[in-house]
Amino acid sequence: MNMQTNSTSKHRSSVFSGFTLIELLVVISIISLLIAVLLPALAGAREASRRMQCLNNLKQMNLGVMFYTNDFNGKLPHIQDSHSPSHPNNPHGWALYYTDQLNAIKNKTGIAVCPSDTRPGFARNNHLTWKYDPSDTNWNVQSSFNANVETAFRWSSNPNVVVDSILKPSKLFFFAEGWNRLYVTRWDQYFILLHGASLNMSMADGHAEAVYLGGEKNLQYDSGAMGTSEAFSTSLDDFPWSRN
């Protein structure tokens, strides 16, 4: 009986003594290495998903604008600078109105928002102040995107642009990621990079694309006022301003 007990004890001892401290440290090191490799890949996958969602949102914004043109003789909407969230009198608002998402203009969800946009303020009021105050009823556009008021959407003092006058719809943009959140012109290029070195834009033919600019994430463009140069040429004959 004692011989059997001793044999069992030795067997158990040999099993447990086979996993040394060094081997345990090696296993822990391998697991840590795998975590270090996989976490950036997972983060990259999440960002890629957000980038694709942003592009899809931009395409939906374009779709809403095109619904508007069907009801208004092919004319693109004007842009206004001082309307309440309930008034869709700007391309952002009309896009949300025609896609049944007008309430999304009052919060940080919906097609008007890029999922990578973590900035606290999503609008400016009719006093052009840059603060977020939900109690202010004069807030207008809550969006991650600005609109091309140079050659697509015009201020109300100018004639509407007619869709049929756009001869190169794949080269003219409607909306793009912007730190202004409302408008952009060739002289005031209020863009922001929310996805690394690329700028998401929607074009007049309905597609959306990532345009490589070579900057860093959260880089703001403001015609040099932010210490950067223009993102694009200021010529009306060049991408992304040209209608002809």
> Under a CB-based contact definition with an 8 Å cutoff, are residues 182 and 176 in contact?
no
Q: Band of the pLDDT at 105, cuts 50, 70, 90? A: low
pLDDT at 39 exceeding the cut of 90: no
Q: What pLDDT does 6 receive?
A: 54
Q: What pLDDT does 98 receive?
A: 85
Q: Greater confidence, 89 or 82?
A: 89
Q: What pLDDT does 223 receive?
A: 53
DSSP 28-81: HHHHHHHHHHHHHHHHHHHHHHHHHHHHHHHHHHHHHHHHHHHHTTTBPPPB-S
Q: What pLDDT does 109 receive?
A: 65
pLDDT at 225 exceeding the cut of 50: no
Residues 6+ apart with CB under 8 A from 206: 59, 62, 63, 66, 169
Separation CA 81–CA 104 (nearest Å)? 18
Task: Give residue-wise pLDDT tens across range 119-135.
Answer: 765 544 444 333 444 45
Q: What predicted TM-score, i.e. pTM, was given to this entire model?
A: 0.74
Q: What pLDDT does 155 receive?
A: 86
Q: Band of the pLDDT at 55, cuts 50, 70, 90? A: very high
Separation CA 138–CA 125 (nearest Å)? 5
Q: What pLDDT does 117 receive?
A: 87
User: How many residues are present in the chain?
Assistant: 244
Separation CA 137–CA 32 (nearest Å)? 52
Q: What is the domain partition of the chain in residue ranges?
A: 53-212
Task: Give residue-wise pLDDT tens across range 133-142.
Answer: 445 444 445 6
Mean pLDDT of 153-181: 90
Mean pLDDT of 4-13: 52
